[in-house]
Structure 1
Amino acid sequence: MADSYPQVGDSRRILRSETVLVLALSLGASAVSSLISFVGSLTKPGGLKDQAATLNGSYAPGRPWLDLAWQMFGIATALVPVALVAHLLIREGAGLRTIGFDRTRPWSDLGRGTLVAAGIGSAGLAFYLVARASGFNLTVVPESLPDVWWKFPVLILSAAENSVVEEVIVVAYLLRRLDQLGWTPMASLVASSVLRGSYHLYQGIGGFIGNMVMGVVFVLLYRRWGRVGPLVVAHTLLDIGAFVGYALLAGKVDWLPTP
């Protein structure tokens, strides 16, 4: 009997199904959850800025070792979809090097990522403050962890995990699959950036718009550089600045909103 090979139409259906499943297991599900959360915030008495969205909170208040176990479990399980993407790319005959998530150009990735973070960081903070003051955003609480020895290491690990998950899946993987499915570059840019904004909608309209704009910039940079490494670096630095900066400054400076 002759071997049976998938036809072009079958391959496209497989790619579509694969992409939907990866997103359903990761940031697509987060987008739906964020939308539900946003609707809940809108329908709750009081303005958005009087409500808070906590990014890194305690899972077991008063039990630091159990809390640490839950924190590490949450970080590890969040990275599983990235491992799935790596597996799928390897089966494709590509691998993570194809999307520029490797150690072949560490200094270039670090330098570019640092410049991007410096450019986006200050603008992003200013936009958040304006959006919150205008009533379009909840008060974002980057961390509310207890003051224990593992607080800052966990915040840094959480920043790195967020960055790897978002940039590998929403930029590198999604754009690769949409390209293979025949989407135009503009349609892929819109899909990636709107998805990024959607899973930040729990922060409010400001969180949606700000992250969507960041998504546009990141897609354009990825297209230009062909590497997701600098974007992971930039996102990690931005989140470390937000998480650790809030932990150090909350309640000590007047310009930083707190609940």
Structure 2
Amino acid sequence: MKPPAAAPNATPLEALGMVALCFGWFIAGSLWSVSAGFRSGTISDASLIGLVGFEIFVGPIALLILRSRGHAMRDLLPSPSWRGCGVGALLYVACVVASAVALSPFAADAAQPIDRMMETARPSLAVVVTLAVVNGLYEEVFLLGYLQRCFRHQGASFALGLSLLVRVLYHLYQGPHGALSVAVAGLVFGVFYLRTGWLWPVVFAHMLADAIPFL
């Protein structure tokens, strides 16, 4: 595997538009949650189905726009493989360990918003699996396959930092611990993709991260 090539026709205005289309609603909701004292609602089948529906609707539109801009689908979309699933499982374990280390100094802190949300969450297995597949694919295709790869020519640190910033912004509703955990996972994912250009293990690791906490 080699680092992904820079995306064609990737202007800052295009990137801003894609971030607004794919993640703008989530960022706005996350910032509202923070300003309202982390009033994020509950996790239910209805809320998760709503998220899946949004991503299934917006994802193809975003891909069509990128295709019209000269981005090849083979560079944006992952190629599933059993080997990639195995690597993705190891990547997920690495994220869990890294997050545990990063959060260890704050173990005695009060319960976080994400903890309270998970305590009352009772989604069905079918909805959880559907969410994990759709959301894992959606986020990593547009965060890494597009945004990080798009700005690789500006330097690895800039590309990695930009994708991390967007990722953390729409997870702020989870509270400080949740945002830190997301940042650590995003760093692991981003560095792996920078070094290998292999997207499927990251997508699979994200799917596991979305599904396992509910099981």
Q: Structure 2 length as normaliser, TM-score?
A: 0.80
One-letter identity of the residue aligned with 1:137: Q
Q: Distance in 2 between matches of 1:72 and 1:213?
A: 27
Alignment partner of 1:137 out of 91, 107, 112: 112
* Structure 2 equivalent of residue 45 of structure 1: none
Structure 1 residues 127-166: aligned runs within 5 Å: 131=106, 133-135=108-110, 137-138=112-113, 139-142=115-118, 144-145=121-122, 151-166=124-139
Q: C-alpha separation between the residues in 1 aligned to 2:25 and 2:99?
A: 25
1:101 to 64, 78, 85: 78
Aligned mate of 1:32, from 28, 31, 34: 28
TM-score, with structure 1 as normaliser:
0.68
Matched, 1:231 2:206: no
User: What is residue 5 of structure 2 aligned with on the other side?
Assistant: none
Greater share of helix:
2
Q: 2:19 corresponds to which residue? A: 23
Larger RCO (CA under 8 A, 6+ residues apart): 2
| RMSD of equivalent CA atoms | 2.8
Alignment match of 1:75 (pick from 52, 56, 77): 52
Tell me if the contact between 1:113 and 1:233 (Cα under 8 Å) persists in the aligned partners.
yes
The reply on whether 1:220 has 2:191 as its aligned counterpart is yes
1:178: how far off? 2.0
Gap change, CA 1:174 and 1:81, over 3 Å in 2: farther
Within 5 Å, give how 1:82-93 maps onto structure 2.
Answer: 82-93=59-70
Change (3 A) 1:91 1:191: same
* Distance verdict in 2 for CA 1:239–1:74, change over 3 Å: closer
Residue 4 of structure 2 aligns with which residue?
Answer: none
CA pair 84-162 structure 1, distance change in 2 beyond 3 A: same
- Report which of the two structures shows the higher radius of gyration computed on alpha carbons: 1
Q: Which runs of 4+ in 1 moved over 6 A?
A: none
Consecutive unaligned residues in structure 1, runs of 5 or more: 1-10, 43-50, 60-69, 245-259
Is the Cα contact below 8 Å between 2:156 and 2:194 reproduced in 1?
Answer: no
Looking at structure 2, the residues matched to 212 and 206 of structure 1 have their Cα atoms a distance apart, in angstroms, of 10
Equivalent in 117, 135, 143 of residue 170 of structure 1: 143
